[in-house]
Structure 1
Amino acid sequence: MNDRPIPATPRDEEAARESRHDAGHASQFALLRQRRFAPFFWTQFLGAMNDNVFKIGFTSLVTYQAARFSGVDPKTVAFLISAIFILPFVLFSATSGQVADKYDKAMLMRWVKAFEIAVMLVGAAGFWMHSAPLLYACTFLMGVHSTVFGPVKYAYLPQRLASDELVGGNGLVEMGTFVAILLGTILGGVAAGLGATDEAAPVGPPLGAWWLGGMCIVIALVGRVASAFVPPCEPSQPGLRINWNPLSETWRNLRLAHGDRTVFLSLLGISWLWFVGATFLASFFNFAKDVLSADADVVTLLLAMFSLGIGSGSLLCERLSRRRIEIGLVPLGSIGISVFGIDLFFASHTLPAAPHLLSVGEFLRGAAHWRVLADLFLLAMFGGFYSVPLYALIQSRSAPSHRARIIAANNILNSLFMIVSSLMAMALTTAGVGIPGLFLTTALLNIVVAAYIYTLVPEFLLRFMAWVLVHTVYRVRLVNAGRIPPKGAAVLVCNHVSYVDAIVIMAESPRPIRFVMDQQIFRSPFFGWVFRHAKAIPVSPAHEDPVALAKAYDACAAALADGDLVCIFPEGKLTRTGEMNPFRHGVSEILRRSPVPVVPMALRGLWGSTFSRFAASGQERRPLRRGLTRRLTLAVGEPIAAADATLERLQDTVAQLRGARR
C-alpha cells in the first residue's frame, strides 16, 4: 500500500530553515495521476453519472410526458423514484458492509460494475417499452448497486491515502460525484427530450427513450473497464463470518457505530445533509415547472448550479482546512445551508409571471432568476464544507477492521433519513404546501438539527469558533505542525502570550487537546464557557487551593492514560513584558505521574495584539503592532522523552522556537 505523504516544498526562508510548511504540499489533483486513486475515481464517477442519466431521464419522461405512463402521478413521482432508489440501503447496507470488510475491495468493485451492466439492460428495456414497472425495478436494482458500492468506496480511501491526503481525496470524490450528477443530469435531460411528442397523443417510444437506454448500457461498460485497473486492496478482516440476517446485522452495525459518540453523531450529521439534499434535488422538476414556469432544460441548469456549488465547496475544503480534518467547517456549512435555503424561499416569491414555460435563454434574461441560481450554488457550496470533513472524520476515527461496516451504518442512516425526506415532501405537497414552502421548512429544520448536534458534541462548535478566529482575526503560519502526535498521549508545552493562546493552538491541532487552564480564566463568562466545553482542566496555585491543584494533577493523569493530548503553559501566567517567565514545576509533576513524550511549541506574533497585556506594559506602540488582523507563527519542536524533559531544557527549547519575535 502506498501511503506516503506527498513531499512539500518550503514557502519561505524561515520554513526552509526549520522544515517544510504544511501548505507546501502538492495539489490534491496530483492524486488523479496515480494508479492508487485514478481508476477508483473514474469507476465511482461513471457509476454516479449512470445513476443520474437513468433517474433524470426517467423523472423527466414521467414529469413532462406523463400521458405515456399509465397510473403515474407526475407531482409525486420524483419523490417516489427517490424512495425506491434508497430502499435497498435500508435492506442491504448491513450485509454490504460485512462483504466490504471481508473481501478485496478492488475485486468487489469489478463485481459491482458487472452487475450494473445487467441492471442497465433491464432499464433500457423499460425505456424502450415505456414500461413504468420495469423502470421502477431498475431503480431498485441501481439502489442495490449503490448500496454495495458505498462501503467499498469509502473504506478504500483511508487504506490507499495518507492521513494528510484524506481530506483532499474525499473532496475530489465529492466533487467528482456531483460533476457526474451534473453530466448525468444534462445527458439524461437532453436525451429524454429528444423526439418528444404532445402528451395528449403519445405515439410509441420517442427517440429519447432509445438514446437513454443505449447511454446507460455504454456508461456501465466503460465503468467496468475502469474498474479493471483498480489495484488490489487487501480485505481488512478476511476471517469475518457474514451474518446474512439483515435485521440483526443492521442493529449490530448501528450499535458498532454508536460505540464512538463523535463518530455516531457525525453519521447523523451526514444523514441529515442527505435529508436536505434529497429534498432539494427531488423537488427541482416541480420547482422548475410550477414555480419558475420553466421547461425541462432549466431543471438541468438548476442541477448544474447545485452540482457546481457542492463540487466547489468540496474542493475548497482542503485549502480551508490546510490538509487536516477540520471539523470547524461543519458549523460554517450548516449556517450557509440555512441562510441560503431561507433566501431561496423569499427569492421564489419575487419572480415575474411567465406566459409560457421559459427556455434556458429566456430564464437567464430575468434578473430575479439569478438570485435563485446564486442561492442554489451557495447553499450547495456550504453543503460541501459540511460533508467533506465529516466523511474524513468518520474514516480516520473508525477502526480499520470494521471501517466498512461503519460506512454501512452510515448508509443505513442516510437511507432512513432520505426516506423520511421523501415522505415529508409527499405529505407537505399533498397538503398543499408549495415547493418554496418545502425549502423553507427544510432550512428551518436544519437550524434545529444543527443546534441539537452541536449541543451534544461541543467539539464541532469550538473548532468552528477557533477556525473563525485564526482565519479572520489572525493569519497563522505553521512550522512543523506534523510533529504534534496524530495519536497517543503527549504533553504539549508552550509560551503564554495572550488570552487566546489556547484557542489558536486548538484551531491548529489535528486532535482535541485538554488544556490546563488557570482557574480564574476557567470561571470567566466567555472564555470559561469555551474551555469548559473543551474539557479544560482548571488549576490553582498550591497556596490558594491545594485541593484544586491535586484534582488537576489527577485529571491530567487520567487524560494521558486515555491517550489524550494535554497542553500546559508552564509559565503559569501571561507575560507582562513580552519576555518569557520562568517555567514552573507543574509540568514536572505531570510527567512524574505520566512519563509521556513532551512536545515543545512556541507562539510568535501575539505580543502587542488586543488579547495580550501589551497595553498595560507601558511599552511604546509600534506601527501596525496593534489591531486585530495579525500574522502569527506556531512552531513545533521535536518531541522530548519524559526522562530528558527538565524545566531548563524545555524553557530553552521553547525560547529557541520562539526566536526574537514575541
Structure 2
Amino acid sequence: MSERPMPVAQRAAPDAPPDATGHGSQFALLRQRRFAPFFWTQFLGAMNDNVFKIGFTSLVTYQAARFSGVDPKTVAFLISAIFITPFVLFSATSGQVADKYDKAVLMRWVKTFEIAVMLIGAAGFWMHSAPLLYLCTFLMGVHSTVFGPIKYAYLPQKLAADELVGGNGLVEMGTFVAILIGTIMGGIAAGIGASDAVSPVSAVSKGASATVASVTSGPPVGAWWLGGLCIGIALIGRVASAFVPPCAPPQPELRINWNPFSETWRNLRLAHGNRTVFLSLLGISWLWFVGATFLASFFNFAKDVLSADPDVVTLLLAMFSLGIGIGSLLCERLSRRRIEIGLVPLGSIGMSVFGIDLFFASHALPAAPHLLTVGEFVRTLAHWRVLADLFLLAMFGGFYSVPLYALIQSRCAPSHRARIIAANNILNSLFMIVSALMAMGLTAAGVGIAGIFLTTALLNIVVAAYIYTLVPEFLLRFVAWVLVHTVYRVRLVHAERIPAEGAAVLVCNHVSYVDAVVIMAESPRPIRFVMDHQIFRSPLMGRLFRQAKAIPIAPAHEDPALLAAAYETCAAALAEGELVCIFPEGKLTKTGDMSPFRHGVTEILRRHPAPVVPMALRGLWGSAFSRHAASGQERPVRRGLTSRLTLAVGEPVAPGDVTVDELQRTVAELRGARR
C-alpha cells in the first residue's frame, strides 16, 4: 500500500524544511533559522524607526533653539506626515519588487540602505540640521515601505499552515515591543545632557521648562548619542539579515510598473478581486485608524486628562505595547494554531468595551494639585483602571489583527501576495491620515481627548457591524468559537482529514441544532452547509445563512424544484473547489439513534464527482441543543454546560466507491455507542 500524502492543512510552506510542522510552541520558531534572523531583522528595523523619530521629535521640541525655522508645536505632526508619505507613494512599487526578487536578498539590500540613511540622520543630529533630519525621516519611511510587503509575504513562504498564526503573533508582539524599546531609548538618548537637574527621561519631557539659554549653552551630548545609536542598530540589523535563508520569488518574470499612481490603482483593484481579503484589509486599516488615534493622543491625554507629567506617557505606551504583544501571542493558543477568524469579532468587541470604559474612567479621576510623577500616578487606584483599560483595549486589538493578517496571507494567491500587502499599506496610510484629520476636527470643535476616545470606540462598533454584515463568516466563526470554548469541550479525532483545499463532500450524522456550528468551528476553511429551507424563512437567520452561502434544500414532496436547485448549487460549489456539508438523515434525530440516510449524497456526486469525507458527532445527544433535552427528559443545563463532544473524521472515500448503505455504516462506526 502506498503512503498517503500529508493532509493539506498540515503541509509545510513551499520553502519550509521537512520539520516545519509540529513544533510545541510558537516560541520554538525563534530557534529556527527560517524565522529567527528574519524576526530580529524586522525587530531592529522597527526599533530604529522609533529611536530616530522619538529622538528627532524630542530634540526639535525641547531644544528648538538649536534648529532654525522649526515650530516645536507642529513638528510632531510634520514628522509623522513625512514618514507616512512614502507608504502612499511607493507601496505599490515595493509590492511588485517583493514578488519579483528573492526576499532574503531584498532584506539585505534594505538593511544596507538603512545604514546609509542613518548616516544622514546622524549628520543631521550632530549638525543640528533640520533639513537633513527631515530627509532622513522621509528615507526611513521609504525603508519601511519597501520592507513591509517583504515581511508579510515572507512568512507564508517559510511557515506551515499551522504555524502562520503563531508566526504572525510573534511578529506583531516583536514590533510593538520594538516600538516601546525604541521610544524609551530615543527619549533617554535625546535627554542626555539636556539638564543636570532631571533624569534622562524627564529631560525629554520637561526640557520645555528649562531656559533656552541652558539648552543652547549645554553640550549636545544627546545628539551624539542618538546618531551613534541609530547607526549601531542599523549595523546589527544588517548582520541579522545576512542569516535570513534564501526565499524564492513567486513571480520572477513579473515586469515592474514604475508608475506609482497607476500601480497603486492596479493593486487596489487586485485586492478588491477577493471580497473577503479586501474587507480584511479594510479591517486591518481600521485598526491602524484606532491605534493611531490613541497613540497620537497620549501626550495630551497625560497632561490634560490625567494631570500627569510627560514621563507617564512612557508608562501609557508600555501598557499599550504589552497589551498588543500579549494579545498577539495568545492568538495561537486561543485559535489552536489555526487561522481562527472568530477571534476578530471578539477583538472588536473588547476594543469598544474598554475604549468606552476608558472614557468613563477618565471622568472618575481625583483632582491633582500639580502634574503627577510616575510614582505619584501609580499610587492612585483610579489610575490603575485607566492603565487596565489601555492594556485590555490593546490586547483585544491583538486578537483582532493577527487572524486578519494570517487570513490575508493564506487566502491570496502566492504570485501576488506581496502586492496585496502593499495595497494593505496604502489603505493603512490613508486611514491613519483620516484618523489625524478626525482628531484635529473634533479638537477644533471643542471635543476633549476622552471624547475623542469615546467617539473612536463608538465608531468601532459601527464599522465592525458593517464589516460583519458584509462578511458573515467572521460572525459565524465567532459564534462557533464561543460555543466550543464555553458550552462544549470538543475532542477531535483525525480532524486533519478535513481537506484544507480542494473540493469535498462532508457527511455527518444530525444530532442537534448546533451540529453545523461545531463542524464550522473545527474546519480549517469555510463550508457550504446544506440546510432545511424553512430556516431561510426567518428574516434574520435567513439573511445570515444566505450571506454565509448556505444552500437551502426541501424534500421532493414539498418543493421538487428547490431540491433540484440545491443539488445543482452543490455541484457548482464543488466545481469551484469548495467544501459542501450535508446531513443525509435529513432531520434531527428524536431518539439519539441515526435515521436512514437518504440519497442526496449520490445525487450530488452524480452531478459532480468529489471525495466524500464521513464524520460523526458524539456527545451532543441530551445537551441543551438536542431534541432530547428540549423535551424535558433530561436537565439540559447540567449536561449543556459540561458537555464533552467528539468530532471523529473518517478516511476520504473516492466518489466511485460511495454507496448510501456503506456511508451510513462508516458514520455509525465513527460515532460508536456514545450518542
Give the TM-score normalised by the residue count of structure 2.
0.92
Q: Which residue pairs with 2:469 in the alignment?
A: 455
Q: Which residue pairs with 1:409 in the alignment?
A: 423
Assess, with a 3 A threshold, how the Cα gap between structure 1 residues 76 and 368 changes in structure 2: closer, same or farther.
farther
* 1:530-584: CA deviation from partner (whole Å, max 9, x where unpaired): 4333221111111121111111111111111111111000111111111111111
Assess, with a 3 A threshold, how the Cα gap between structure 1 residues 341 and 495 changes in structure 2: closer, same or farther.
same
Kindly report structure 1 stretches of 4+ aligned residues shifted beyond 6 Å. Answer: none
The residue type equivalent to 1:586 in the other structure is G
Query: Which moved further from structure 2: 120-129 or 50-59?
Result: 120-129
Q: Which residue pairs with 1:328 in the alignment?
A: 342
The residue type equivalent to 1:631 in the other structure is R
Please tell me whether residue 294 in structure 1 is matched to residue 292 in structure 2.
no
Gapped regions of structure 1 (runs ≥ 5): 9-24
The residue type equivalent to 1:319 in the other structure is R
Q: Which residue pairs with 2:659 in the alignment?
A: 646
* 1:327-383: CA deviation from partner (whole Å, max 9, x where unpaired): 111111111111111222222222233333322212111212111111111111011
Counterparts of 2:636 and 2:430 in 1: how far apart (Å)? 58
Counterparts of 2:481 and 2:178 in 1: how far apart (Å)? 31
Q: Which residue pairs with 1:497 in the alignment?
A: 511
CA contact (8 A) 1:65 1:199 kept: no
* 1:607-657: CA deviation from partner (whole Å, max 9, x where unpaired): 0001101146786x4898633342211111111101111112211211121
Alignment of 1:194-343 (within 5 A): 194-197=192-195, 198-201=210-213, 202-204=215-217, 206-343=220-357
Q: Which residue pairs with 1:573 in the alignment?
A: 587
Q: Which residue pairs with 1:162 in the alignment?
A: 160
Q: Which residue pairs with 1:95 in the alignment?
A: 93
1:80 to 69, 78, 84: 78
Assess, with a 3 A threshold, how the Cα gap between structure 1 residues 505 and 76 changes in structure 2: closer, same or farther.
farther
Counterparts of 1:491 and 1:78 in 2: how far apart (Å)? 57
Please tell me whether residue 192 in structure 1 is matched to residue 190 in structure 2.
yes
Q: Which residue pairs with 1:15 in the alignment?
A: none
CA contact (8 A) 2:65 2:216 kept: no
Assess, with a 3 A threshold, how the Cα gap between structure 1 residues 623 and 585 changes in structure 2: closer, same or farther.
closer
CA contact (8 A) 2:21 2:162 kept: no
Q: Secondary structure at the match of 1:492?
A: strand
Gapped regions of structure 2 (runs ≥ 5): 1-14, 196-209
Query: Which moved further from structure 2: 414-423 or 424-433?
Result: 424-433
1:398 to 395, 412, 433: 412
Deviation at 1:415, TM superposition (A): 1.0
Alignment: residue pair count: 645
CA contact (8 A) 2:629 2:636 kept: no
Q: Which residue pairs with 2:395 in the alignment?
A: 381
Deviation at 1:92, TM superposition (A): 0.5
CA contact (8 A) 1:78 1:282 kept: no
Q: Which residue pairs with 1:122 in the alignment?
A: 120
Deviation at 1:184, TM superposition (A): 0.9
Q: Which residue pairs with 2:577 in the alignment?
A: 563
Q: Which residue pairs with 2:378 in the alignment?
A: 364
CA contact (8 A) 1:585 1:647 kept: yes
1:549 to 551, 555, 563: 563
The residue type equivalent to 1:182 in the other structure is L
CA contact (8 A) 2:51 2:182 kept: yes
Assess, with a 3 A threshold, how the Cα gap between structure 1 residues 411 and 575 changes in structure 2: closer, same or farther.
same
Q: Which residue pairs with 1:14 in the alignment?
A: none
CA contact (8 A) 1:5 1:162 kept: no
Counterparts of 1:69 and 1:440 in 2: how far apart (Å)? 37
Query: Which moved further from structure 2: 203-212 or 151-160?
Result: 203-212
Give the TM-score normalised by the residue count of structure 1.
0.94
Q: Which residue pairs with 1:151 in the alignment?
A: 149
Counterparts of 2:220 and 2:164 in 1: how far apart (Å)? 45
CA contact (8 A) 2:630 2:636 kept: no
Query: Which moved further from structure 2: 191-200 or 111-120?
Result: 191-200
Deviation at 1:259, TM superposition (A): 0.8
Counterparts of 2:89 and 2:518 in 1: how far apart (Å)? 45
Query: Which moved further from structure 2: 172-181 or 340-349?
Result: 340-349
Counterparts of 2:145 and 2:420 in 1: how far apart (Å)? 13
CA contact (8 A) 1:559 1:565 kept: yes
Deviation at 1:594, TM superposition (A): 1.1
1:48 to 46, 49, 54: 46
Counterparts of 2:638 and 2:663 in 1: how far apart (Å)? 28
Counterparts of 1:42 and 1:164 in 2: how far apart (Å)? 22
Deviation at 1:529, TM superposition (A): 4.6
Deviation at 1:295, TM superposition (A): 2.9
Q: Secondary structure at the match of 1:233?
A: coil
Please tell me whether residue 347 in structure 1 is matched to residue 361 in structure 2.
yes
CA contact (8 A) 1:175 1:312 kept: yes
CA contact (8 A) 1:95 1:243 kept: yes
Counterparts of 2:635 and 2:351 in 1: how far apart (Å)? 42
Q: Which residue pairs with 1:133 in the alignment?
A: 131
Please tell me whether residue 661 in structure 1 is matched to residue 659 in structure 2.
no
Deviation at 1:285, TM superposition (A): 2.2
Q: Secondary structure at the match of 2:530?
A: strand
2:547 to 530, 533, 546: 533
Alignment of 1:16-35 (within 5 A): 26-35=24-33
Q: Which residue pairs with 2:646 in the alignment?
A: 633
